[in-house]
Chain A
């Protein structure tokens, strides 16, 4: 599938004035722009509980409420530091941490979604096309994986292969392979028997050509609407894993882990410590979810639920 066809889908979708899609699109763009440019706009280092001005180090007070100001005396006069979203239990700026967290979360979810869709789609293609025993065995394994609680599967993988961006993405990817597999296999089974595939085969095309030139492109359109929803789910799983301490090692900003560390403070009145990372997870997930649901309404109008 070429870049042009992606742009075409985006153009059609934006023009469709589907409210679900547009809301999702705006929320998604908000999260993505935070991840890309946000880190350059935030005032403080998200991992440090102090600021350095003119070579002098000033410790930031922990647990300052949102909008707090701190005046520091430097050689060139007094400087006022403002903490728009307050500071956390270690004295780090919540705004800077929340913004910087977007980059990591989106990166992990992106790698995970890319990996799981790639593996799932290829397995689904092979299984659906080959049929017989191959299909039976792959399907059985995939069904078992599908039945297994996804988060627990991810926990087991993450606990073993260790922390880090790639490892975490791998652990999450494992969870979603079966969903792509099932969808792809279903689509291949329904297309395989159509007469144009027979025509191609009669013209002498080999299995490889049929699979990747004729079956794959036609099946991809069904996958597109699922990608954003899966992406949203991957973010939720990422947050869950890092809440359990299986994310990236501290002090890298990470919404889930910040919620874990701030739990005691958050529930006992220091609401800003948890409110903002949590809100960011919700906004980001909601963005991709609505985008996917809107896309589904636009691309597959007959299948839409309502």
Chain B
């Protein structure tokens, strides 16, 4: 009973810590987007636009006011869920983001699964062959994965598995025809799997899977080396402990020891790492989504830059701040749940 209360207290204190964290993140976004030298409007919206148009746009965005007033109005409107309107269509930025966020969530989940599968596999293989020549392979793998820009990896997949042998589509989330079908859903969640069930066309899920495979492989491989490293290091630590030595002296095979004592204990550091990788994942997603025209919030940033839309870029960056803060909170809570030691 006592433990339950302490978990609750712990979660509550974590939530309370997240509030200043969100404020600091929003302040950083504000400083970057407003207080840095350079005029965002003329930079983003073009230099050849007449001064009075720029001035009007600045006034629309509230950029003509003193910085502290801008800060207060930025924070208060963000907290009200108001991220401004896009420059061209005057659509609320928040609406845009809500429409595009599900695609990023889909990509994040599928690429994390791939990253963990590859990472755990490599980590286990590397620990298993510790004394043999295969050992440096994990290090070579992580060095090479580190050195390939994620967008280049995506292009390589497009060129080989996509256009090259025509195995997978190279862009979009579903085929154009299916996209039309999905848009007729009575309630649109924008999660393809849910939407296709809502319109009664589960076959679209297959189409979706064939579209998501290349982007998630790209992002998954990009993220996998850190998981390989974590698996390997935690396995080494666990395997050097006394209960493992005891098991080995009882004659248990290495493979059984790794599986039974090792992999299970590695799950905790892996979960934490998956959460901590959110920053790398979101950054990599911007490039991956751009390469594969995946309609998430990452490619929305790119479109914002291309369309020179200040409100759109600022809105998406603001949402990233929230995602980071909330993910950190969730990781802490999950961690405390699976490993009671951290609470004390």
Interface residues of A (CB under 8 A from B): 140-141, 144-145, 147-153, 155-157, 159-162, 174, 232, 236, 239-240, 243-246, 256, 259, 263, 266-269, 271, 274, 278, 281-282, 285-286, 289-290, 293, 305-306
Contacts and interface: CB of A to CB of B under 8 A. Distances in A.
Most buried by B among A149, A236, A268: A149
Contact of B152 (A281, A286, A290): A281
A286 B139 CA distance: 12
Given A244-B305, A290-B143, A267 B152 contact: no
A157 B139 CA distance: 33
15 contacts: A148-B324, A149-B282, A149-B324, A152-B282, A156-B29, A156-B33, A159-B305, A161-B36, A161-B43, A243-B149, A243-B290, A267-B170, A282-B152, A285-B147, A305-B229
Contact of A147 (B20, B163, B328): B328
A244 B156 CA distance: 17
A267 B32 contact: no
A232 B159 contact: no
A46 to B, nearest CB: 20
A271 B159 contact: yes
Chain B facing A: main interface SS? helix
Given A267-B158, A290-B143, A149 B279 contact: yes
A289 B155 contact: no
Interface in B269-291: 278-280, 282-284, 286-287, 290-291
A292 B304 CA distance: 36
B66 interface: no
B24 A141 contact: yes
Nearest to B130: A306
Given A140-B20, A278-B152, A282-B148, A148 B279 contact: yes
Nearest to B47: A162
A256 B143 contact: no
A9 B32 CA distance: 38
B306 interface: yes
Contacts of B20: 140
A157 B36 contact: yes
B286 A278 contact: no
Contacts of A244: 286-287, 290, 302, 305
A155 B28 contact: no
Contact of B147 (A148, A160, A232): A232
A160 B149 contact: no
Contact of A306 (B139, B150, B306, B328): B139
Given A144-B25, A150-B283, A240-B151, A160 B159 contact: no
A25 to B, nearest CB: 15
B306 A282 contact: no
A151 B279 CA distance: 9
A293 B142 CA distance: 12
Contact of A159 (B44, B146, B280): B44
B155 A263 contact: yes
Given A159-B313, A266-B159, A286-B143, A245 B305 contact: yes
Contact of B305 (A147, A149, A155): A155
B331 to A, nearest CB: 11
Contacts of B283: 149-152, 240
Interface string B298-319: 0001101110000001100100
A151 B44 contact: no
B144 interface: yes
B192 to A, nearest CB: 24
A236 B146 CA distance: 9
A278 B149 contact: yes
A269 B163 contact: yes
Given A148-B321, A159-B43, A263 B291 contact: yes
A160 B38 contact: yes
A289 B233 contact: no
A149 B279 CA distance: 4
A57 B156 CA distance: 36
A17 B143 CA distance: 19
B295 interface: no
Max chain A Cβ within 10 angstroms of own Cβ: one of B28, B152, B301, B305? B152
Nearest to B34: A160
Nearest to B41: A160
Nearest to A286: B147
B155 A160 contact: no
B176 interface: no
Contacts of A305: 229, 233
Contacts of A159: 43-44, 304-305, 313
Contacts of B37: 161
Residue from A174, A243, A286 with most neighbouring chain B CB atoms (10 Å): A243
A145 B324 CA distance: 11
B320 A148 contact: yes
Contacts of B151: 239-240, 243, 256, 259
B21 A144 contact: yes
A256 B280 contact: no
A239 B149 contact: yes
Nearest to B229: A305
A269 B165 CA distance: 11
B265 to A, nearest CB: 19
B47 to A, nearest CB: 9
B92 interface: no
A153 B155 contact: no
B102 interface: no
A236 B278 CA distance: 18
B40 interface: yes
B317 A152 contact: yes
A145 B302 CA distance: 21
